[in-house]
Amino acid sequence: MTLVLRKLVTYVEDTRIEGGRQAPRPLKLFAAAAVLTNPWAGRGFVEDLKPEIHAQAPVLGEMLTAEILRVAGSGEAVEAYGKAAIVGTSGEIEHASALIHTLRFGNHYRRAVGAKSYLSFTNLRGGPATPVTIPLMDKNDEGRRSHYLTVQFSIVDAPAPDEIVVALGASIGGRPHHRIGDRYQDLRDLGGTDV
């Protein structure tokens, strides 16, 4: 089944002042989201989701990665990253998961930004204007808490009941006045125990 794309949405946010203090370096959060027809909508329970995953996930991964790189300027500029999907009310959570939890989708992004970390994610069901919430983490270091961030925005007319919103998110920079340490400091404080 060919991907039916209704719209492509790009979101950009620049934080210049945080906590009443000028950021030493502005934090740039951004996302690219595709609004597409759910390929399983109206078909009842579909046992084998692979044909549609194989046909559509690589196309989405390539398209959304290209949008992220366009906004960021380069893969090297991206410091933190994540992904999300929202299935409309006529679909299953499994439909949202199917298109983003496959290497056919995520590997486009990982390779383009030179990442080592896994892609943090959300997947849920909702209607139009459901917040697209993309958790981010450092692309190379899961323990670097300065880059535990969230990109959140909504698309007023999506997803329709028979649609899916698939999105990638990224940051250039971390929280402007990060001061809670990182996972490695906690481990040292706890005597080296991994909890």
pLDDT in tens, 117-157: 999 999 999 999 999 999 999 999 988 999 999 999 999 99
pLDDT in tens, 5-23: 999 999 999 999 999 999 9
Mean per-residue pLDDT for 166-194? Answer: 87
Helix, strand counts (H, E) of the chain:
4, 7
- Both tokens of 176, joined, read 């402007």
pLDDT in tens, 54-83: 999 999 999 999 999 999 999 999 999 999
Residue 93 confidence (pLDDT) above 60: yes
Residue 190 confidence (pLDDT) above 90: no
Q: How far apart are CA 91 and CA 43, in angstroms?
A: 10
Residue 51 confidence (pLDDT) above 90: yes
Q: How far apart are CA 115 and CA 177, in angstroms?
A: 24
Contact criterion met (CB below 8 Å) for 119 and 158? no
pLDDT band at 112 (very low <50, low <70, confident <90, very high): very high
Predicted local distance difference test score (pLDDT) of residue 130: 98
Residue 195 confidence (pLDDT) above 60: no
> Could you tell me the pTM of the whole model?
0.93
Q: How far apart are CA 90 and CA 42, in angstroms?
A: 8
Residue 188 confidence (pLDDT) above 90: no
